[in-house]
Structure formats: structure tokens, C-alpha cells
Amino acid sequence: MEIDPRTGLPVEAMAWDDLAKSEQRIQVSTVKRKFGKIMTVISGFDKSIDLKKIAKQLKAELGCGGTVKGREVELQGNHRKKIRPLLVELGFDQSSISA
């Protein structure tokens, strides 16, 4: 069994992770919150996806705050146009992302 040196997981397990990411139906929307603040909400993730890791990467790349609530990632600010290329970089299928 071949082990990936970067993650320490078997290579076969990583192929399943990529397959799970390609079958997601991700929706990106914006919501107006208290005091007129805009939040970008990303939903539709499967239970096999580590949302905390994805949220951390998105927050670092966009330079904003955010959180994970339930099966959704909430980011502070309006990032609808910037989210799609970042999610594609993280391994999600571009056709499965609706913004």
C-alpha cells in the first residue's frame, strides 16, 4: 500500500476524497445580517468533507473572518465572485458550484 508523504494517508483513500468532492452540489449565497452586514454562505457540503479545514483555507485566502455553522461555511463580507475559483483550487468540480 502506497502512503502519501504529504498527508500520511493511503493514496487510495485520497482518490475517494477527490470523488466525494466532485459529487457535491455547493451553493453560494449572500445574507444580510444584523446592522446591514453581508455574509457569504456556502452550503451543500457532504458529511465526509472537513468543513473546518475548508473554512480556514478560505478565510486565509480571502482575508476575512468566518465560521462553520452546521453544514455551512459563513464568511464575513460579499465574496460570491471570488469563491468559485478558490473552491476549484481546493478540488471541487466547477460545474457543481452554483453562485
Q: Which residues of 2-32 are buried (b: 16+ CB within 10 A; e: fewer)?
A: eeeeeeeeeeeeeeeeeebbeebebebeeee
Residue 78 lies in a domain: yes
Report the SS3 class of residue 59: helix
Condensed to tens digits (0 to 9), the pLDDT of residues 43-87 reads 998 888 889 999 999 999 999 999 999 999 999 999 999 999 999
Residue 34 in this model has a pLDDT that exceeds 70: yes
Residue 72 lies in a domain: yes
Domain holding 36, by residue range, is: 26-91
| The residue to which cell 453544514 is assigned | 71
What is the number of domains present in the chain?
Answer: 1
Residue 10 lies in a domain: no
Residue 7 lies in a domain: no
Give the rounded percent of residues in the chain with a pLDDT score beyond 70: 79
Confidence bin at 31 (pLDDT 50/70/90) = very high
* Mean pLDDT, rounded, of the chain: 84
Q: Please state the pTM of the whole predicted model.
A: 0.75
**Rounded distance between C-alpha atoms, residue 14 and residue 11, angstroms:** 5
CATH number for 39:
3.30.780.10
**Do the beta carbons of residue 5 and residue 75 sit within 8 Å?**
no
